Amino acid sequence: MLSRTRQMRLTPRHVAHLQPTTIDVALPKPPVGMREATQADYDAAIAHLFSEADHHEETWVFAYGSLIWRPACDYVEVRTGRLHGWHRRFCLGWNTGFRGSPENPGLMLALDRGGACNGALYRLPPDTRDENVQKLLEREMSWLPSSFPPRWVKVKSGDRTVRALTFCIDRHSGRYVAGLSEEQIADMLATATGTRGSMADYLYSTVSHLEDMGIHDPHMWRLQHMVAERIEAVYER
């Protein structure tokens, strides 16, 4: 980890104002038109991902959001990398359980087309590749059809370009949310709370870990400042 050169305005003090109403780790029921993934689905996805004749011996995962601070898989190496053609954005909605409610729904991060994104690269243990890929699939695509299916991308890391697995939004999905301004996104992040915590906590964890890795995302940095302002205006007047 690198030492930070910038001080976040959003802090655990702000996050503490937004507590989950209940603690529930059970997966909510899938939305209408979706179903829970089965073991057969995971087996088929893994077989498809590694069906190409030119797949590499190393298996990397590119993390851009919560996988940075909660990887959900074992790894033997971590490094930073830059992905071109995709950018980090709050565009996966709407979350009315874990990080939101029907009254104040949350919006999760996904990779959307355009721009570039700096994130973390995790190299999976080669002897337990399939086991760890399944852990990722269970975390990221427990409902089908997936709104952000796994795909291979090329990520630049130092003097290397590695082929990595990541999860990108499907713009044709009914869960794709576009057209929101930073102000609207900040309003959502400052109010949405679910059974696993708040969107403010999600934002804090993501930005703080990015900064610890030496990754500065101007959009995310502006959002954390705006969210802190909003929370202060409500709870610290």
Chain centroid to Cα 75, Å, comes to 18
DSSP code of 58? S
The candidate with the shortest Cα–Cα distance to 46, out of 148, 136, 123, is 136
**Residue with the two structure tokens 């059974």:** 195
Return the structure tokens found at 215: 């990754």
Radius of gyration of the chain (CA): 18
Neighbouring C-beta atoms of residue 122, cutoff 10 Å: 25
Cα separation, 223 vs 182, whole angstroms = 7
Handedness of CA 21, 139, 105, 207 (dihedral sign): positive
Q: Which of 231, 138, 160, 218 is nearest to 189 (CA)?
A: 231
What is the helix (H) or strand (E) element at residue 60, kind and residue range? strand 60-63
Nearest to 191 by CA among 234, 225, 221, 236: 234
Identify whether 236 is a catalytic site residue: no
From the candidates 36, 140, 183, 236, give the one annotated as an active-site residue: 140
Catalytic residue annotation: 140
